[in-house]
């Protein structure tokens, strides 16, 4: 005890500030960090429609290393096999490859009025539910899609697959964007800015030719097909393609005189077709597709069975 008979007053124990600091540190550690902002994306090189009409995932892989010392010239848009692909712009199919071989496999290029090119690579080559590589044309490309065919933005032109050197990967579309001089540019910013558009059935029907397959005749391994076809908007004769077992084997122009068609529609008589010597084994399905002159959709006007 002190000389005055009193105990010394104890010093206060500072607890609350320490607890407060510790609590703040604990809460800060438990609160998740704010999400990282997405990587900066430059301005779109080209306004366009997104080329895959379905669920898609992708990241910027332009310039990534590839086998043989190559670098990646496009963007890989991952999607389920058989997902429809649509035209990124109004234009013309200026190249088309139907092949299981090579790096690209099944592919096509659409060129717009300004000369920009939209390149589609690794289109489907498998039967539904398989990875058989059977490569039937109608499973890779939409009806009527061929070199020289006009298309409209949002029109279905083909289907996602893994042809070419993509057989060891998941199905996807390798998409490239090229300037009129052929120079490839990174399509990533244009894809990020692209609008979604798939032409409706009503829009497709409004632009598709009409016609009839009158008959499939012949035998002994060859057939002839007859019928008529009219473009939706233009009175010029349309092109028709004969598909056998899903593959185009012959083309012709529907310019045969058909007075009955003129009498029914009043659009001239030269809209009939006759295609002979078409190779088709007995029992094989034979179909005729009429091509739209201005794009927007073609029509499978009828099918028959080879006798």
pLDDT digits (tens, 9 = 90+) for 13-22: 443 343 343 4
Please give the C-alpha separations between residue 284 and each of 16, 98, 250, 251, in angstroms, as whole numbers: 88, 21, 15, 18
Q: How far apart are CA 68 and CA 66, in angstroms?
A: 7
Q: Which residue has the higher pLDDT, 20 or 216?
A: 216
47-95 residue pLDDT tens: 999 999 999 999 998 776 576 667 667 899 999 999 999 999 999 999 9
CA–CA distance from 291 to each of 35, 108, 151, 186, 274 (Å)? 50, 17, 10, 33, 16
Using 50, 70 and 90 to split pLDDT, how confident is the model at 43? confident
**What span, in angstroms and rounded, lies between the C-alpha atoms of 248 and 119?**
22
pLDDT at res. 41 = 61
Cα dist from 132 to 69, 72, 161, 198, 262, whole Å: 29, 27, 12, 29, 46
Amino acid 133: pLDDT: 97
Topology match between the domains 67-199 and 208-305: no
Reference 50, options 118, 108, 111, 114; nearest CA is: 118
Residue 189 sits at φ, ψ, to 5 deg, of: -65, -35
Query: How do residues 143-159 score in pLDDT, each as one tens digit?
Result: 999 999 999 999 999 99
How many angstroms separate the CA atoms of 190 and 176, rounded? 11
Q: How sure is the predictor about 109, in pLDDT bands with cuts at 50, 70 and 90? A: very high
Mean pLDDT for the stretch of residues 23-27: 38
Q: Is the pLDDT of residue 187 over 60?
A: yes
Strand runs labelled E in the chain? 75-78, 84-86, 91-97, 106-111, 117-123, 150-151, 156-159, 172-178, 184-185, 210-219, 222-230, 239-244, 247-253, 256-257, 270-279, 285-290, 299-305
Residue 202 in this model has a pLDDT that exceeds 80: yes
- State which fold the 67-199 domain adopts: Glucose Permease (Domain IIA) (2.70.70)
CATH number of 208-305: 2.60.40
pLDDT for res 64: 66
Query: What gap in Å lies between CA 289 and CA 126, rounded to an integer?
Result: 22
Q: What is the DSSP letter of 293?
A: S
What is the tens place of the pLDDT at every residue in 61-70? 877 657 666 7
Measured CA to CA in angstroms, residue 89 lies from 57, 73, 85, 151, 307 at distances of 21, 20, 12, 8, 42
Domain ranges of the chain: 67-199, 208-305
Residue with tokens 């086998």: 67
Residue range 194-220: average pLDDT? 97
Q: Which residues contact 26 (CB under 8 A, 6 or more apart)?
A: none
Q: What is the average per-residue pLDDT within 242-270?
A: 98
């Amino acid at each position: 005890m002190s000389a005055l008979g009193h105990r010394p007053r104890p010093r206060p124990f500072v607890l609350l500030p320490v607890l407060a600091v510790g609590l703040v540190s604990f809460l800060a550690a438990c609160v998740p960090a704010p999400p990282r902002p997405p990587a900066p994306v430059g301005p779109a090189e080209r306004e366009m429609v997104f080329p895959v009409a379905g669920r898609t995932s992708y990241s910027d892989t332009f310039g990534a290393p590839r086998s043989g010392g190559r670098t990646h010239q496009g963007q890989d848009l991952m999607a389920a096999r058989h997902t429809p692909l649509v035209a990124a712009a109004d234009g013309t199919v200026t190249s088309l490859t139907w092949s299981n071989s090579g790096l690209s496999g099944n592919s096509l290029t659409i060129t717009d009025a300004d000369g920009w090119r939209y390149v589609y690579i690794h289109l489907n080559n498998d039967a539904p539910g398989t990875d058989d590589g059977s490569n039937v044309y109608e499973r890779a490309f939409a009806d009527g899609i061929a070199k020289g065919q006009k298309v409209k933005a949002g029109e279905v032109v083909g289907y996602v697959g893994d042809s070419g050197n993509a057989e060891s990967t998941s199905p996807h579309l390798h998409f490239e964007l090229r300037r009129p001089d052929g120079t490839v540019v990174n399509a990533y910013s244009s894809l990020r800015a692209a609008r979604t558009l798939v032409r409706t059935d009503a829009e497709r029907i409004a632009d598709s030719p009409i016609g009839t397959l009158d008959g499939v005749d012949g035998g002994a391994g060859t057939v002839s097909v007859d019928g008529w076809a009219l473009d939706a908007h233009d009175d010029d004769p349309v092109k028709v393609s004969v598909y056998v077992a899903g593959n185009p084997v012959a083309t012709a122009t529907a310019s045969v005189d058909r007075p009955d068609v003129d009498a029914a529609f009043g659009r001239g008589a030269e809209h009939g077709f006759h295609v002979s010597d078409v190779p088709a084994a007995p029992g094989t399905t034979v179909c005729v597709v009429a091509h739209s002159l201005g794009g927007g959709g073609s029509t499978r006007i009828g099918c028959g069975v080879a006798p």
